[in-house]
């Protein structure tokens, strides 16, 4: 190598190395920024999943709460005003989201509880109402319960209306009795979902999936934002779209760090090591966030039990196996006794601890192949497969009851709760998931009402024999 070549090498080599270092460092910096953006997106996806789960949980709790009242009317064909008031009062105490309970024989509201501040609803013709008539007609056509709204109520406020058609069985026919309506306070629903939290770092909007022009919470323009993330909230007869956009643009929190890292590019070793560490850590956090998001989407946030979505998948798989192998499947609908007293006297925090312990005891009392689900509030469902004899199911139900014999001790206090169990069998008591739940629910309420036993079989009731 001559002098000329050596000079050129000494001149260009540092430049070449410098350019390589700068390009490499800038590439690593940009990669870090993109990974940070993905981490922020994963965090926001997780947060949106929590909001969605809270909305679905609140709606499920409110809609399932009135099944006993409906079952009474289906069985008796009527209801005394005093009994309606007593039952409604208990239901409203259990779930403050429900503003009132109305019964509309032949679609005319004749029963309202509480009556105070709701007088304007009496006599309302739901079928011909300008806002609620369409939903009423849909119920009559489909004969299925629906969630409609949100609507502005005649007595003030905004609510999502849960309506259930009530049919009375007369021999092989069924006669339409009327509707039960429960306005679910939309403002309280939004509050419980955490959308009013000043620390929430997302802008959120809600709209009807079936009619995207109906945006009933937040700004309509949010759905067309470039950084929007959209998922769906499952409701009885459809779904809502929920959109979220970060209040601070993605990557903003990492911008200063990236700029500083580029300026400090000459300190190659230190910065490269730092970025590599950050890359691994951020990728791991992203993976954990995705796993947690998937777990949140399939499990109850309080007890860790499967939620309704995952349980329905387990049910479908169990039914497929039962059909192939020609055996029965049992569904146990379980409702805690005396749990309300614990909540009222010691507060919801203690109540949550009790629910967690109850879930643990249910797990211990059942086989690993049995599926336990918390359906909402203090109600649980247990699915048993490979049922050959009734005695086997009875034995499991007795183990469940026995598991709660011992008190649950929290901070020196012993809390006693029991459980009433309604049992329904596939296929004779119901074919679909909802039919089997309804049968189990009716059997459970019979056990509570008669008080002679904590276990009641749907097939032993007039429903099961009809």
**How does pLDDT run across 45-57, given as a tens digit for each residue?**
888 888 889 988 8
pLDDT (0 to 100) of residue 298: 62
Give the pLDDT band of residue 177 (cuts 50, 70, 90): very high
CA dihedral angle for residue 28, residue 34, residue 35, residue 36, rounded to 10 degrees? 110
Residue 66, domain member (yes or no): no
Residue 412, domain member (yes or no): yes
Residues 286 and 334 both lie in one domain: no
Question: CA 274 to CA 260: how far, in whole Å?
Answer: 13
pLDDT (0 to 100) of residue 36: 67
Neighbours of 300 (CB within 10 A): 22
Residues 275 and 312 both lie in one domain: no
| Catalytic-labelled residue, pool 300, 335, 370, 378 | 378
Which residues on adjacent β-strands are paired with residue 277?
none
Residue 286, domain member (yes or no): yes
**Higher pLDDT residue, 11 or 315?**
315
Residues 265 and 358 both lie in one domain: no
pLDDT (0 to 100) of residue 438: 93
300 flagged as catalytic? no
Residues 443 and 313 both lie in one domain: yes
Residue 285, domain member (yes or no): yes
- Residue 280: domain span: 3-58+255-291
Question: CA 457 to CA 444: how far, in whole Å?
Answer: 8
Looking at mean pLDDT, say which of 120-124, 288-292, 327-331, 371-375 comes out highest. 327-331
Residue 431, domain member (yes or no): yes
Q: What is the DSSP letter of 379?
A: E
Residues 319 and 394 both lie in one domain: yes
Token pair of 127, please?
């079928």
Exposed / middle / buried, residue 56 (Cβ in 10 Å: 0-12, 13-18, 19+): buried
Residue 213, domain member (yes or no): no
* Count of structural domains within the chain: 2
Token pair of 463, please?
């429903």
Q: For 355-389, how does the pLDDT look when each residue is reduced to its tens digit (9 = 90+)?
A: 999 999 999 888 877 888 888 888 999 999 888 88
Residues 384 and 259 both lie in one domain: no
Give the pLDDT band of residue 466 (cuts 50, 70, 90): very low
Nearest CA among 44, 453, 21 for reference residue 268 = 21
Percentage of the chain beyond pLDDT 70 is 84
221-249 mean pLDDT: 86
**Higher pLDDT residue, 291 or 116?**
116
Residue 73, domain member (yes or no): no
Question: CA 281 to CA 287: how far, in whole Å?
Answer: 10
Residues 341 and 383 both lie in one domain: yes
For the chain, the average pLDDT equals 83
pLDDT (0 to 100) of residue 18: 79
Give the distance, in angstroms, between the CA of residue 242 and the centroid of all CA atoms in the same chain: 14
Residue 64, domain member (yes or no): no
Q: For 414-426, how does the pLDDT look when each residue is reduced to its tens digit (9 = 90+)?
A: 999 999 999 999 9
Which residues on adjacent β-strands are paired with residue 113?
101
Residues whose CB falls within 8 Å of the CB of residue 215, separated by 6 or more in sequence, listed in order:
205, 206, 207, 223
Question: CA 278 to CA 385: how far, in whole Å?
Answer: 48
Exposed / middle / buried, residue 403 (Cβ in 10 Å: 0-12, 13-18, 19+): middle
Looking at mean pLDDT, say which of 119-123, 212-216, 255-259, 307-311 comes out highest. 212-216
Backbone φ and ψ of 338, nearest 5°: 70, 5
Give the pLDDT band of residue 452 (cuts 50, 70, 90): low
Residues 393 and 423 both lie in one domain: yes
Residues 422 and 331 both lie in one domain: yes
């Amino acid at each position: 190598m001559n002098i000329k070549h050596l000079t050129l090498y000494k001149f260009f080599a540092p430049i070449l190395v410098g350019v390589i270092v700068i390009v490499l460092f800038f590439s690593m910096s940009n990669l870090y920024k993109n990974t940070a953006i993905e981490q922020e997106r994963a965090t926001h996806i997780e947060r949106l999943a929590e909001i969605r789960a809270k909305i679905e949980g609140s709606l499920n709790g409110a809609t399932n709460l009135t099944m006993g009242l409906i079952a009474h009317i289906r069985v008796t064909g009527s209801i005394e005003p005093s009994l309606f008031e007593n039952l409604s009062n208990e239901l409203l105490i259990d779930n403050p989201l429900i503003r009132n309970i109305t019964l509309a024989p032949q679609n005319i509201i004749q029963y309202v509880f509480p009556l105070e501040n709701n007088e304007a609803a009496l006599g309302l013709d739901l079928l011909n109402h300008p806002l609620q008539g369409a939903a009423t007609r849909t119920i009559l056509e489909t004969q299925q319960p629906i969630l409609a709204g949100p609507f502005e109520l005649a007595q003030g406020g905004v609510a999502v209306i849960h309506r259930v058609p009530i049919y009375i069985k007369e021999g092989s026919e069924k006669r339409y009795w009327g509707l039960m309506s429960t306005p679910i306070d939309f403002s309280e629903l939004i509050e419980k979902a955490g959308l009013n939290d000043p620390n929430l770092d997302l802008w959120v909007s809600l709209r009807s999936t079936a009619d995207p022009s109906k945006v009933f919470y937040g700004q309509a323009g949010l759905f067309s934002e470039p950084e929007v993330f959209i998922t769906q909230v499952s409701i009885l007869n459809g779904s809502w779209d929920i959109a979220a956009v970060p209040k601070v643009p993605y990557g903003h929190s990492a911008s200063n760090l990236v700029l500083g890292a580029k300026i400090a590019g000459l300190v190659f070793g230190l910065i490269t090591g730092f970025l590599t560490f950050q890359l691994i850590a951020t990728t791991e956090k992203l993976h954990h966030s995705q796993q947690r998001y998937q777990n949140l989407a399939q499990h109850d946030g309080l007890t860790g039990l499967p939620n309704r979505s995952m349980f329905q998948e387990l049910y479908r798989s169990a039914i497929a196996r039962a059909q192939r192998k020609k055996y029965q499947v049992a569904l146990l609908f379980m409702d805690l006794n005396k749990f309300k007293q614990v909540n009222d006297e010691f507060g919801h925090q203690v109540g949550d601890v009790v629910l967690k312990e109850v879930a643990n005891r249910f797990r211990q009392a059942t086989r690993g192949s049995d599926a336990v689900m918390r359906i909402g509030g203090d109600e649980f469902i247990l699915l048993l497969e490979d049922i050959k004899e009734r005695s086997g199911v009875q034995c499991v139900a007795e183990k469940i009851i026995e598991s709660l014999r011992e008190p649950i001790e929290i901070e020196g206090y012993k809390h006693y709760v029991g459980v009433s169990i309604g049992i329904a069998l596939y296929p004779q008591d119901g074919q679909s998931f909802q039919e089997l739940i309804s049968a189990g629910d009716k059997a459970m309420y019979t056990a509570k009402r008669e008080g002679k036993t904590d276990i009641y079989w749907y097939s032993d009731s007039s429903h099961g024999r009809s």
